[in-house]
């Protein structure tokens, strides 16, 4: 297997790196302080995404995307993921399952989303259905040519302003019929109950929703009745690899900053890089980064070589688990090297601490990834994770 980057891969990396340093890094502290950016700044960032050809990297050119390989998607997410306060979210990647819509749905939703003209939200989690996706209770009942939907959602990231919400339901209160609906902004019965405050200040929230007697045309189903989890699984593979790549990007930035500080900071008459305690921490940080990048890009290449869906889903869990946990270990060591200065909000490593902590939770906690892996090992053996053809 050739693990080297192609000329196109290197071009993607250069563009993503230049973009983040021009449009993301300069806006970190203002976003952290005010929890929002001026609309003029947001507009500049959106135009920058388009100018640097980083919009909809996960979709085909026929839909207005960049048709990047999985390796290239990981490169972009690694580079922009180093920006604090989830500024990486400004580089929009519409849910991959939208490509399974009807021609009319693709025209109405996917193509504008790829252009950055339509913002999306995925509404799945509920008070009783977080890690247990099968515990969804939001129910859709047929009524003529409409469905009437009732339920509640939480951690519905961006739903307070999204133009399109992908809503996970069960049809006829039957857990064997998980179904995704496309909900337009302003649909009657789709209500934001509250907008909790979180540690991360990103300019968007994770609201709690009440769905009350919401009438939705049958034409707003994405895919087929009962196929919701299959569509969600494809999205999970992509999302988990993106999390892994972002975690590596955060870890690299934290290590670079810690190394620079360790070379400058003097105690007991010498730079602290010369002390074995610090040197060992940096060595451990480098090892975690190297290991994470190796597994991430190896599997990304396998996916680009048509790895089957079930295997990709299983391996994505291992990658998300290791990289998010490793990223947290690395950033935590960076804070330790900085000492008290590592807890100052003006220091990127403090903000990275808040960001990377979330990566161990959303799109499946570390414990859920272990459950996925354990199930795969029971059914298919260790070769799923230890083999290499």
Please list the active-site residues. 363
Cβ of 196: how many Cβ atoms within 10 Å?
Answer: 11
CA-nearest of 81, 168, 21 to 358 is 81
The single-letter DSSP state of residue 223 is: S
User: What burial class does residue 175 get, using C-beta atoms within 10 Å of its C-beta: 0-12 exposed, 13-18 middle, 19+ buried?
Assistant: exposed
For residues 206 and 155, what is the distance between their CA atoms, to the nearest angstrom?
4
**Residue 217 in contact with residue 185, Cβ under 8 Å?**
no
Residues 6+ apart with CB under 8 A from 242: 73, 74, 77, 81, 93
Burial 316-339 (b: 16+ CB within 10 A, else e): bbbbbbbbbbbbbbbbbbbbebbe
Instruction: Give the Å distances, CA to CA, from 17 to 3, 42, 76, 262.
Output: 21, 19, 8, 24
For residues 168 and 170, what is the distance between their CA atoms, to the nearest angstrom?
7
Which residues, in sequence order, are bridge partners of residue 289?
none
**Residue 332 in contact with residue 300, Cβ under 8 Å?**
no
Residues 6+ apart with CB under 8 A from 319: 240, 241, 244, 295, 296, 299
CA-nearest of 273, 221, 195 to 97 is 221
Strands 164-171 and 139-143: parallel
For residues 28 and 37, what is the distance between their CA atoms, to the nearest angstrom?
9
């Amino acid at each position: 297997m050739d693990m080297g980057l192609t000329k196109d891969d290197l071009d993607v990396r250069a563009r993503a790196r230049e973009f983040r340093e021009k449009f993301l890094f300069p806006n970190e502290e203002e976003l952290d302080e005010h929890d929002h950016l001026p609309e003029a700044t947001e507009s500049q960032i959106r135009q920058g995404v388009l100018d640097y050809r980083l919009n909809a990297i996960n979709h085909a050119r026929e839909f207005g995307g960049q048709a990047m390989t999985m390796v290239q998607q990981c490169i972009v997410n690694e580079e922009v993921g180093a920006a604090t306060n989830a500024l990486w979210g400004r580089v929009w990647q519409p849910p991959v399952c939208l490509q399974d819509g009807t021609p009319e749905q693709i025209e109405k939703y996917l193509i504008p989303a790829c252009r950055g003209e339509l913002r999306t939200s995925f509404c799945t989690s509920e008070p009783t259905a977080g890690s247990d996706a099968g515990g969804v209770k939001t129910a859709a009942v047929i009524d003529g040519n409409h469905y009437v939907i009732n339920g509640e959602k939480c951690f519905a990231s961006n739903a307070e302003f999204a133009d399109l919400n992908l809503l996970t339901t069960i049809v006829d209160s039957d857990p064997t019929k998980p179904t995704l609906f496309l909900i337009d902004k302003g649909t009657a019965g789709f209500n934001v109950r509250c907008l909790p405050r979180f540690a991360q200040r990103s300019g968007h929230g994770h609201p709690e929703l009440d769905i009350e007697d919401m009438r939705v045309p049958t034409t707003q189903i994405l895919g087929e009745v009962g196929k919701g989890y299959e569509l969600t699984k494809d999205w999970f593979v992509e999302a988990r690899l993106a999390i892994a790549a972002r975690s590596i990007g955060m870890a690299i930035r934290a290590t670079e900053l810690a190394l620079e500080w360790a070379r400058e900071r003097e105690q007991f008459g010498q730079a602290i890089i010369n002390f074995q305690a610090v040197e060992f921490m940096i060595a451990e940080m480098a090892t975690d980064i190297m290991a994470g990048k190796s597994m991430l890009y190896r599997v990304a290449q396998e996916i680009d070589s048509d790895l089957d869906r079930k295997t990709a889903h299983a391996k994505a869990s291992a990658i998300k688990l290791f990289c998010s946990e490793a990223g947290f270990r690395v950033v935590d060591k960076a804070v330790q090297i900085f000492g008290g200065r590592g807890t100052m909000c003006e220091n990127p490593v403090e903000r990275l601490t808040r960001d990377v902590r979330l990566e161990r939770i959303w799109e499946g906690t570390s414990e859920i990834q272990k459950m996925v892996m354990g199930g795969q090992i029971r059914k298919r053996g260790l070769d799923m994770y230890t083999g290499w053809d």
